[in-house]
Each structure stands twice: as structure tokens, then as C-alpha cells.
Copies of this chain bind each other. A is one copy, B any other.
Amino acid sequence: MSGGVDSKQKQGAPVITDTALRQFVGFNVKRGMNVIHFDLKQTLDPFGLRMVTFSALLLIGDNPGLSQAQLAQALSMERPNLVSIVDELAGRDLVTRDRVPTDRRTYALRLTTAGARLLAQVTAAVVEHENELFNGIDQSDLDHMIATLKLIERNGSGRS
């Protein structure tokens, strides 16, 4: 549930502090991500989508004809994990997987009409969900946060 660490206590140790944990940036980011992900999951569930399938739809919509390898890179995940994801989207006729004549190893991914329609609906729902979740928070604060997150991403040597 919502109640963090400062909720009511029974006996034993008194109110639990997480000061030591909160000193680390990473822990705060993780907690924020958990909240966002939980809400996003609620939003996507009625559409039969997960965060990763929604992200894939968005990327395919934005980059028609891209390959699975390109999609994997854009999602910063490994190729094998994409197979079941694209299978799922193709199985629901949201995405087409067409052979590329010039390189018969690769598939060109495109949204179907149904895929584009679903994506539009879901995107609207997710935008609304984010607006609710961020209600009362200045857009400038969110922009500032995103800018800082991008700086961190750039500093990262590992997988993004």
C-alpha cells in the first residue's frame, strides 16, 4: 500500500527510519519508479499491455519498418527477450512482421491499423494517468528531474 516507513507501529522496534537508505540517490529513484510502474500497470492492464509492450508499440509507431534488433537497442534490452514480445503483438494483429527483400535475415516491424488505433487509445490513457499521478507537481520540477535523469544516463557506462 501507500503508507511508507512512518506508519503506525505495534511493539518491538519503535518507528522505523530509512534515513540511511534515503541518503542514496538510487534508492529514491527506485521508490519513485515503483510508484510510477504500479500506476502504469493499472493503466495498461485493461488494454492487455505491459510497460514493455506499450514501449514497443510506441517505438514501432514512431519508426515504421525498424528491425527487431533496432527495436531491442531502442528498448535497451537483449534481442532474445524481444521475440516473445513481438510474437505477442503480432499474434494480436497489432504489428506486422515483413521480410526485408534486401536483407532476408531481418523483419520490418509496422503497426497494423488496429495497432495504431490501440496505441492512440492507450497513449491517451497513459497521458491521463501521468497527469493524475503528477497532480500538484510543477511541470518545471518534472522537466528538471528528467534533465537530471538524462545527465545520469549519459554518465552511465553500463546498460541504459
A-side residues, CB < 8 A to B, are 1-5, 7, 9, 11-13, 16-21, 24-40, 42, 51, 55, 58-59, 61-67, 70-71, 73-74, 76, 100, 102-103, 106, 108, 123, 126-127, 130, 133-137, 141-142, 144-153, 155-160
Candidates B13, B71, B106; contact of A67 at CB < 8 Å: B13
Closest to A66 in B: B13
Shortest Cβ gap from A9 to chain B (Å): 7
Q: A18-B59, A26-B36, A28-B149 are in contact. List 10 more A-B contacts (CB 8 A).
A: A4-B160, A12-B66, A21-B58, A25-B130, A29-B32, A29-B149, A30-B51, A35-B153, A38-B158, A141-B147
Whether B32 contacts A149 by the Cβ 8 Å rule is: yes
User: Would you call the interface of chain A mostly helix, strand, loop, or mixed?
Assistant: helix
Q: Is the CB of A61 within 8 A of B158?
A: no
A38 and B21 alpha carbons, distance in the complex (Å): 18
CA distance A25 to B16 in the complex (A): 30
Judge whether A157 and B39 touch: CB under 8 Å.
Answer: yes
A74 proximity list for chain B (CB < 8 A): 5, 16, 18
> Chain B contacts of A148 at CB under 8 A?
137, 141-142, 144-145
